[in-house]
Amino acid sequence: MFKKTEAPLKNIHRFSWVSLLVCWLIWVLNAYDREIILRLGPTISKEFNLSPDQWGTVVTVVMLALALLDIPGSIMSDRYGAGWKRARFQVPLVLGYTFISFLSGFQALTGKLWSFVALRVGVNLGAGWGEPVGVSNTAEWWPVQRRGFALGAHHTGYPVGAMLSGLIASFVISTFGEGHWRYVFFLALIVAIPLMIFWARYSTAARVDTLYADIAEKGMTPPDLGDGVKVAKGETWKTFVATLTNRNIALTAGNTMLTQVVYMGVNVVLPAYLYNISGLSLAESAGMSVVFTITGILGQLIWPSLSDIIGRKITLVICGAWMAASVAAFYFAQNMAMLITTQLLFGLVANAVWPIYYAVASDSAEPRATSTANGIITTAMFIGGGIAPVLMGGLISMGGGWKNLSGYIVCFFVMAGCALAGVLLQLFTRYGSQHHTPQAAA
């Protein structure tokens, strides 16, 4: 049954909105840096003469790097401190991986495939580490009743970043030529430096105290930071195991992994499909492969907010079934109009599920383990992201290679099956509305 929210947006303090804007911009940069090589897939494959299998392996290596530091980094973040202290951990991290990305723009450093891959692995080690930290930071500046909305609004930064990656890749290739595709890596650091300077100065104990007092005064629930108790060194492993074995977090992590196979699979397959099967140019395929991000932005505002009202579980089941149907529909997309329509339908749920997964983790975790729980979700997501490229590359190769349609069709149906398997896992979770008691899920 639908319930009226206990926290109208007009009552939200300006500190919450400012923090959301900053974390959103950080997330845009993270998404742009992460997605840009997917937009450049045909271009990079052409320069280094890569087969579908080889390109899939390259992307898998780069994407699996996203998973390596999520959990240890999240535990470190929780130990360092929550609330305003989270930014002290976040600022150098963002500046570090955007600087490595900046170095990727120099051909002298990335003229060899191994050196290009090494730098991109470095970027993703930091970007993956930064995701659960950014999610936790967002959740800790908003009232509990509006956590779904806040994380959904925060995550609209991902389709925006993904869209920018396609548009900027297309612009760079068409303006400077395909030999200068590395110029796309210069953007993130230029934006990150002033943004991180502002955030380091804005995130203070005084602002968080004022914010939480305002939230309580207006009858809403401030985030529970565990009464300021950090995870002690001796408790780290116990806290991690308790979080990992939480039924809701574990099953939702499995759902996340399967959904990421779908999302990353589409990102790997679609640019190659548009270039090799639909006959678009390298610049056109980069730009047209991000059409789904248009509705992705809308979906991230609708579904996470709806999950605050009808519950996370039913929302994720609906989104998973929708994702399966829309990905399978690529089989019927025989012309550009149908390809665009199918992308727009897929986009309505493609990005919407991630903030809901994080909301489930934040709802279900002990207060002092919020970032650890989000790190588990992120790690599962990136494992799925690592599986997808090598799986899709193998399926395309088995189907006859880059120029043969049959391999792409198999990819679309395998992805649809993964989405349905994720729905099945979600059916076995045990939680209700947004006001979930962590102990009840353990």
Read off the pLDDT of residues 54-76 as tens digits, 9 standing for 90 and up.
998 999 899 888 888 767 776 77
**For residue 438, pLDDT beyond 60:** no
Domain CATH number, residue 353: 1.20.1250.20
Q: Which domain holds residue 325?
A: 9-219+228-441
pLDDT of 4 over the 50 cut: no
- Quick one: tokens of 377? 């979700």
**pLDDT tens digits for range 84-101:** 788 888 899 999 999 999
Question: pTM here?
Answer: 0.76
Percent of the chain with pLDDT over 90: 50
Report residue 362's pLDDT band, with 50, 70 and 90 as the boundaries: confident
Cα separation, 155 vs 30, whole angstroms:
11
Tokens for 301, please give them. 């505002």
- Rounded CA-CA distance 212/147 in Å is 14
Residue 1 lies in a domain: no
pLDDT of residue 252 exceeding 50: yes
Crossing angle for the helix pair 405-426 and 370-398, to the nearest 10 degrees: 150
Domain contains 384: yes
Within a domain: residue 421?
Answer: yes
CA distances from 292 to 28, 31, 82, 388 (A): 16, 15, 35, 18
3 assigned to some structural domain: no
* Structural domain contains residue 65: yes
- Note the pLDDT tens digit of each residue in 281-339: 888 888 888 898 889 888 888 898 888 788 889 999 999 999 999 999 999 988 889 99
pLDDT single digits (tens) 197-238 = 999 999 998 999 999 999 999 888 888 765 444 555 556 777
Nearest to 414 by CA among 322, 324, 343, 348: 324
CB distance 263 to 255 below 8 Å: no
Q: Is residue 124 part of a domain?
A: yes
Q: Read off the pLDDT of each residue in 18-22 and give the average, rounded to a whole number.
A: 94
Contact 105, 33 (CB under 8 A): no
Distance, in Å, from the CA atom of 291 to the CA atom of 347, rounded to the nearest integer, reads 8
DSSP 111: S
Q: Is residue 2 part of a domain?
A: no
DSSP characters for 320-365?
A: HHHHHHHHHGGGG--SHHHHHHHHHHHHHHHTTHHHHHHHHHHHHS
Count of domains in the chain? Answer: 1
